[in-house]
Amino acid sequence: MACGLLAAAGLPAGLPRWRLDGDPSPPSAAQINAAQNQVRQHRAALGAAQRRLNAASAGLARLQAQAEQLTERYDEVRVDEQRAAAAYRVTQARLARAQRAAAASRRRLAALAAQEFESSAGFDPLTAMLGDASGPQAYMNAVGFGQVLAQDQADTLAENQADDVVARVFRAQAHDLLVAEQADLRAAADLKAAIQAAVARQLAFVHAGAAQRNRLASELASAEAHAAALQAARQAALAAQAAAGGGVAGPGQAPAWAWGSAASATQGDVAANWALTQLGKPYQWGAAGPDSYDCSGLTMEAWAHAGVQLLHYTGYQWQEGPHVPLDELRRGDLVFFATNTSDPATIHHVGIYIGHGMMVDAPYTGAFVRIDSIYAPGGLIGAVRPAG
């Protein structure tokens, strides 16, 4: 029975195996204490790494929020710069039109001046008046027309010059606005680039922290598995000695294994520890390892490493051991989730309890094996301790 017990405990490959058929040298209490000290050290290191990762993740969230705000500011300034550039182009076109109109007016005045000079050259006003075939009245009409025409051209020129002045003012203002907006755009672009670089650095830091956390979790799982294996070997050896001597284990000694319906705490530790070594592997429907898992595939393989065979279906796993109250959960227990917590027929998810209200589970397509709160998914219907 002792050999069967060790098989059920699922000792990890590479750990020493003690013969329990009369071997007088099972693991000592000092060896077990040393292994448990290693577990405590690994737990402390994992806790510190998790706290650092939490802080880094919070910092990343803050930087991402700032990046979103600065990106929106950059978009706003870019639109403003585009508007300023359009306004500057409009004032450029308006100035060009005013300058063309002024030039045309000057050419027209020059032509009229030349024409008037040629028409009056060599004649004084009296001669022109008397020599006009239409008489003095015609001359007076012509003189009046010329004065009116000259005044009209002067007004036109003045108006064009005024337009030119106004256009220059608008052009200067539009130019100043464009320069200011371009400076704002460069500043916004620099801020955007800086915060994006900061986000990238923080994201890399978070990824490195997550990798370190997962490595420490794996080391902790190995340390816990080692300590559990030592404890299991010592308990089994002492139980075998007690059975062989026909007596009862003495004070401070582990009692003989009780082969009842539920698996042992040691087996639960083995299942929980092995599940922790699978963190980061992708979810895949219907998969049971070694590279991917669905929820019941992960729990099935975890308990297989503890020497307990489960079926690959949450509904059947719900029936494969005694139900335990949530306030009596033990590492390795299976926690189940349902859409209707009063109807076990609606169970759709299962995880492996690892202590402190946390579990290892393979959540859903697109996710990875990870650590979750047993209350996070919602619909916690109960727990099962697989039969040993």
Q: What is the pLDDT of residues 349-376, one digit of tens each?
A: 999 999 999 999 999 888 999 999 999 8
- pLDDT level of residue 154 (50, 70, 90 thresholds): low
Count CB neighbours of 88 within 10 A: 20
Q: Are residues 343 and 247 in the same domain?
A: no
Query: Where does a domain end: 240, 259, 278?
Result: 259
Q: Give 41-95 pLDDT, tens digit per residue.
A: 888 888 898 889 899 989 888 888 888 787 777 888 888 888 888 888 887 887 7
pLDDT digits (tens, 9 = 90+) for 19-33: 333 444 677 777 777
CB distance 335 to 302 below 8 Å: no
Domain that holds residue 297: 261-388
Predicted TM-score of the model (pTM): 0.41
Residue that finishes a domain, picked among 232, 259, 286:
259
At residue 80, the pLDDT reads 84
Q: Which residues of 122-141 are buried (b: 16+ CB within 10 A; e: fewer)?
A: eeeeeeebeeeeeeeeebee
> Would you say residue 342 has pLDDT above 70?
yes
CATH number for the domain including 277?
3.90.1720.10
Q: Are residues 96 and 14 part of one domain?
A: yes
Q: Which of 226, 259, 292 is the last residue of a domain?
A: 259
**Are both 11 and 128 inside the same structural domain?**
yes
Residue 240 has pLDDT above 90, yes or no: no
Whether 191 and 299 map to the same domain: the answer is no
Six token digits for residue 250: 């003495």
Percentages (nearest 5) of helix, strand, coil residues in the chain: 65, 10, 25
Nearest to residue 352, comparing CAs of 287, 280, 273, 264? 273
Assess whether 88 and 201 both reside in one domain.
yes
Q: Are residues 305 and 255 in the same domain?
A: no
Same domain, 173 and 291: no
Calpha distance 282→370 (Å, rounded): 9
> Is residue 134 located within the same domain as residue 199?
yes
Report pLDDT digits (tens) over 285-303: 889 989 999 999 999 999 9
Task: Name the more confident of 53 and 154.
Answer: 53
Answer yes or no: do 357 and 271 share one domain. Answer: yes
Give the CATH number of the domain where residue 144 resides: 1.10.287
